[in-house]
Structure 1
Amino acid sequence: MQKQLYRSMVELTRNPIYTSLLKSFATSRLSGKLNQSFAKAFGIDDSELEGSISDYKTLNDFFIRNLKEGTRPIAEGKDTIASPVDGLISQVGAINERATFHIKEQDYSLRNMLGLEKTVERYIGGTFILFYLSPKDYHRIHSPIDGEVTKRWALGKYSEPVNQWGLLLGQQPLANNYRLITEIENMGKRMAVVKVGALNVNSIHPTQVERRVIKGEEMAYFTFGSTVILLFEKDMIVQTVDVKGEGIPIKQGQAIGALM
């Protein structure tokens, strides 16, 4: 019962008044009294925390928690691609010649998602990897590779849910929700890290501002959980993970593939 209540708080809402109230509550001292219950409901391993659960004064503070140093070792090797997040790899696939890719019975337009025509053309024939973050997951986003940041941009205003029902029934939330996009170049090839908002509070917070980014370096964090999509140019990535069934649980830093 508790788990269902917390899921409803952080996943499904289209009402801006409700979302505003939720945000106000989650950042209040009163909400901190729920941290222990939240951790128990979702089976969060408190041994990974930078501090104790009582150190987090609000539910929001606990949700965006840092982890102990070394808790998420980064996959070694200059060509290895590391998972940017904790979560579930729910789909891996190809971007077709029409600049679309298929997720949950919907064809998603890369033109809608990225908004920049020349950037869209770059990823035709490439690969996408979709990560879903649930309420229990560590909600900080890290760079999957070393490289130079070529550009950063934001698109969209309103955000629909991006859980399983949202992906199936929503108006293409991955392509239309508020999103922050970072493009990274490595050895002449580019990839994009697309961070997708889940609620109409649009709570994606960038933390990386330098041009050079190092694999495993923090780039941003979500305050209410969401989705990350990695896009790779054609012939940039090999040895991608093989997703079957409902997806593959993954931890930030684990290897998900390799650069060609």
Structure 2
Amino acid sequence: MPLPTLRSTLARVVQQEDVNFLLTNRIPRRLATRFIGWFSRIETPVIRDLSIGVWRLFADLDLSDAQETRFRSLHDCFVRKLREGARPADPDPALLVSPCDAIVGASGVVERGQALQVKGFPYPLCDLLGDDAEAALYEGGWYVTLRLTSAMYHRFHAPHDLRVEAVTYISGDTWNVNPIALKRIERLFCKNERAPIHARLVRSGHPIALVPVAAILVAGIRFSFLDAGLDLREAGPRRIPCDATLDKGTEMGWFQHGSTIVLFAPKGFRPHDRVREGATIRAGQPLLHVPETGNA
């Protein structure tokens, strides 16, 4: 059977809601996540090649813009860097850009302290962020859900010139974060391991929050501006103060596999035309319009 036909057949089977949910959630999620974290780092060429080959059967993996074309392991491929200039950030200071390659999920206005993971499934910002005062900053503001698929580029970047003030690590579960699971598990983002990044735009002082949410088979979240890695073995929650100034487009960190980032901006920010549910967006492309005056 030709590879495209086989891939299409496998995709149809796996994408059936009941089958997908069973395969990716009704298993020992933490054990599977830790196993993949270990297995993906094996540098034996046969295991590496077979693993990447199986991955290609289930995902449209494009490595044409990767910095390196040969990888030591499956993990090395997951966390690959891209060629210089492959994801230029829009330089317009009036635009907040996407921090990552992603499919746009739910987005909208934060109302009564809540956002939506999908229609009809709200979640409280205070639960997601782990802090009532932080959540209050975004009442009436805009949020955008950005889902990274397994085949996508897994590193994320500063959406504007910003100063990172703290990271809050919150340990949790590893439910799948695909649309099938989001329609079945209430408050899913609030259940999973996550690490809210608290920052302010350098020029205007507006607060923004980026919330990387881990998922099944994600062995950890790493930050370029912190010495310590955050992973499932760490206890939480814990707040890590920092003072890191990052230029727009600078790498902030990476996932060990596909997952989700939820971005929050305060009242006054408006969505760019690219922000449509189901649309694919790349790191550095316009996401939100920044208001002219600050809320420092």
- TM-score of the alignment, normalized to the shorter chain, above 0.5: yes
Of 76, 86, 96, the match for 2:101: 86
- Call closer, same or farther: CA 1:86–1:114 in 2, change over 3 Å: same
Of 143, 150, 155, the match for 2:170: 155
Q: Which residue of 2 aligns with 1:72?
A: 87
Q: How does 1:104-115 map to 2 (within 5 A)?
A: 104=118, 105-115=120-130
Instruction: Give the secondary-structure state (helix, strand or coil) at the position aligned to 1:93.
Output: strand
- Call closer, same or farther: CA 1:65–1:99 in 2, change over 3 Å: same
Q: Which residue of 2 aligns with 1:216?
A: 249
Q: Which runs of 5+ in 2 are unaligned?
A: 1-5, 227-242, 292-296
Q: Which runs of 5+ in 1 are unaligned?
A: none
Instruction: Give the secondary-structure state (helix, strand or coil) at the position aligned to 1:29.
Output: coil
CA distance in 1, matches of 2:79, 2:157: 13
Higher mean Cα deviation, 12-21 or 72-81?
12-21
Higher mean Cα deviation, 30-39 or 133-142?
30-39
CA shift for structure 1 position 243:
4.6
1:238 aligns with 2:270: yes
Letter in 1 for 2:280: P
Of 263, 271, 279, the match for 1:248: 279
Size of the aligned set, in residue pairs, is 253
Q: Does structure 1 conserve the Cα–Cα contact (< 8 Å) formed by 2:108 and 2:115?
A: yes
Q: Which residue of 1 aligns with 2:154?
A: 139
- Call closer, same or farther: CA 1:238–1:149 in 2, change over 3 Å: same
- Call closer, same or farther: CA 1:72–1:40 in 2, change over 3 Å: farther
Q: Does structure 1 conserve the Cα–Cα contact (< 8 Å) formed by 2:36 and 2:219?
A: no
CA shift for structure 1 position 214:
1.2
Of 7, 12, 24, the match for 1:12: 24
Q: Which residue of 1 aligns with 2:231?
A: none
Letter in 2 for 1:222: F
Q: Which residue of 1 aligns with 2:36?
A: 22
Q: Larger Cα Rg: Structure 1 or Structure 2?
A: 2
Once the two structures are superposed, residues 182-211 of structure 1 have per-residue CA deviations (whole angstroms, 9 ceiling, x without a partner) of 111121210101000112755111112452
Q: Does structure 2 conserve the Cα–Cα contact (< 8 Å) formed by 1:157 and 1:202?
A: no
CA shift for structure 1 position 92:
1.7
- Call closer, same or farther: CA 1:40–1:199 in 2, change over 3 Å: closer
Q: How does 1:33-112 map to 2 (within 5 A)?
A: 33=49, 34-36=51-53, 38-39=55-56, 42-52=59-69, 55-96=70-111, 98-104=112-118, 105-112=120-127
Once the two structures are superposed, residues 238-257 of structure 1 have per-residue CA deviations (whole angstroms, 9 ceiling, x without a partner) of 2433655x511011111112
CA distance in 2, matches of 1:200, 1:116: 27
Q: CA RMSD in A?
A: 2.3
CA distance in 2, matches of 1:90, 1:119: 22
TM-score (norm 1): 0.88
Instruction: Give the secondary-structure state (helix, strand or coil) at the position aligned to 1:180.
Output: coil
Q: Does structure 2 conserve the Cα–Cα contact (< 8 Å) formed by 1:185 and 1:191?
A: yes
CA distance in 1, matches of 2:146, 2:168: 20
Q: Which residue of 2 aligns with 1:259?
A: 290
- Call closer, same or farther: CA 1:51–1:242 in 2, change over 3 Å: closer
- Call closer, same or farther: CA 1:20–1:145 in 2, change over 3 Å: same
1:166 aligns with 2:181: yes
- Call closer, same or farther: CA 1:66–1:6 in 2, change over 3 Å: farther
Letter in 2 for 1:219: M
Letter in 2 for 1:107: P
Letter in 1 for 2:221: I
Q: Which residue of 1 aligns with 2:209?
A: 192
Q: Identity over aligned residues, as a percent?
A: 24
Q: Does structure 1 conserve the Cα–Cα contact (< 8 Å) formed by 2:114 and 2:124?
A: yes
Q: Does structure 2 conserve the Cα–Cα contact (< 8 Å) formed by 1:84 and 1:216?
A: yes
1:119 aligns with 2:98: no
CA distance in 2, matches of 1:193, 1:148: 12
TM-score (norm 2): 0.78
